[in-house]
Structure 1
Amino acid sequence: MSKMATPPIMDPHTANILICYLLYRIDKPVRVSHLYDIAVGNDIINYFAYQDSIAYLTSHGSVEVEKHNNGIEYYSLTENGIRTAKELRNYVGKAYRDKLVSAALHYFARIKRQNEVKIDYIPLQKGYYVHVRCLDVQDDLLDLKLYAPDYTQAKFLGEQIMLNPAGFYGKILDAAFSNEEESYDLSDN
């Protein structure tokens, strides 16, 4: 879907409905910074409309701010916000609703990947190592260094791995399990 098909929402009232709809669909508290990144960072809601909307929603009891034990603030939907999401969702085009939910799902998937896979770039005299670590609760599932001749190629390699780290890990395992001893034909000597 092109950006021209869904220009950023400029109207705070429409933004109110979209934010409530997103929080309703996600059905869990969302970090304040994450909601901003999803809505404004993806050019779905205009910055000023977003700020006006959040101020309105929190002051009118549709969205509340919770501070969790880690000190991080989260937005959560109240009963009033749930009603808004359910009853007014059709006042906002389906393209906008779908685009916002899709942006949120991609955003959270990216965060999950970043928490499960760590990539560092280690400079060498000539080139870089791309240090890839697939993390588990207690141990690393994979700890691998790949060589790249320069930083640009190292960065590109790291970005490609981060597109689908599980697929990368799976291909490494497939290669290891399908690896066979090389056979030599000694009759030619």
Structure 2
Amino acid sequence: MYESSSELAENKLLMLYVLKSIKNPISNNQLTEIILENNFINYFTFQQYLSELEESNFVEYHEVNDKKLLILTKKGDNVLSLFKDRISPSKISITNEYIKEKIESIKRELTIHADYTLGSNDSFIVDLKAIENESLLMELKLSVPSKNQATLICNRWKENPSDIYTNIINLLIS
């Protein structure tokens, strides 16, 4: 069933509102999660709206540390400031609460990178990065013999990056 034009406008404005509220570029996946977990829009409609917002130059993707991240453009910010009152107060309240609860994990996802690729001799190359304020704090590449080890290292890095970073620095300094 098709939405009314006011619902369509409200949903697109809500997407712009989320981007403005987070105050940082975020991934498509993160924006999708925020919208879907709060049952605002279904996935396919969300992706269509996002594409339309991008075509209208209200949002755009930027490449940041090998990640494609969404930002609110000046044009999108202007539209939001003009029409923000069309977003229902309950949706704004739900969004604000959600962001307040999840902002630390959202930031961690943006600043911590961990993945692995198949290397030579059936080994795996693990690539770990820590980024702060768009500056690289640390990058570590390791060669490990098994996929299990590569996955374990990536998971541990994602779970506790600050302790691991601090331990590595302390080991190197002392």
TM-score calculated relative to the size of structure 1: 0.52
Residue 37 in structure 1 maps to residue 33 in structure 2: no
Query: Once the 2 structures are TM-superposed, how far is the Cα of residue 81 of structure 1 from its aligned partner?
Result: 0.9
Q: Determine which structure has more spread, i.e. the larger CA radius of gyration.
A: 1
Identity of aligned residues (%): 13
Matched-pair contact (CA < 8 Å) for 1:118–1:133: yes
Matched-pair contact (CA < 8 Å) for 2:19–2:71: no
Q: Deviations over 1:61-84 (max 9, x none)?
A: 8x62558799x9854223231243
The equivalent of 2:21 in structure 1 is 25
Residue 82 in structure 1 maps to residue 81 in structure 2: yes
Q: Aligned residues, how many?
A: 156
Root-mean-square deviation (CA, aligned residues, Å) is 4.8
Distance in 2, Cα, partners of 1:152 & 1:167: 22
Query: Once the 2 structures are TM-superposed, how far is the Cα of residue 96 of structure 1 from its aligned partner?
Result: 3.5
Go from structure 1 to structure 2 and tell me whether the alpha carbon gap of 1:129 and 1:95 turns closer, same or farther (over 3 Å shift). same
Ranges in structure 1 where 5+ consecutive residues have no aligned partner: 1-10, 179-189
Distance in 1, Cα, partners of 2:155 & 2:116: 9
The equivalent of 2:156 in structure 1 is 160
Distance in 1, Cα, partners of 2:9 & 2:164: 44
TM-score calculated relative to the size of structure 2: 0.55
Go from structure 1 to structure 2 and tell me whether the alpha carbon gap of 1:175 and 1:134 turns closer, same or farther (over 3 Å shift). same
Distance in 1, Cα, partners of 2:148 & 2:129: 22
Within 5 A, what are the aligned runs for 1:15-164?
15-27=11-23, 30=25, 34=27, 36-41=28-33, 43-44=36-37, 45-51=41-47, 53-54=49-50, 64-65=58-59, 75-76=72-73, 77-85=76-84, 88=87, 90-92=89-91, 94-99=93-98, 106-114=105-113, 122=119, 131=126, 134=129, 141=138, 143=140, 145=142, 150-164=146-160
Query: Larger % of helix: which?
Result: 2
Distance in 2, Cα, partners of 1:67 & 1:142: 24
Q: Deviations over 1:140-171 (max 9, x none)?
A: 956464756x4223312222113333321212
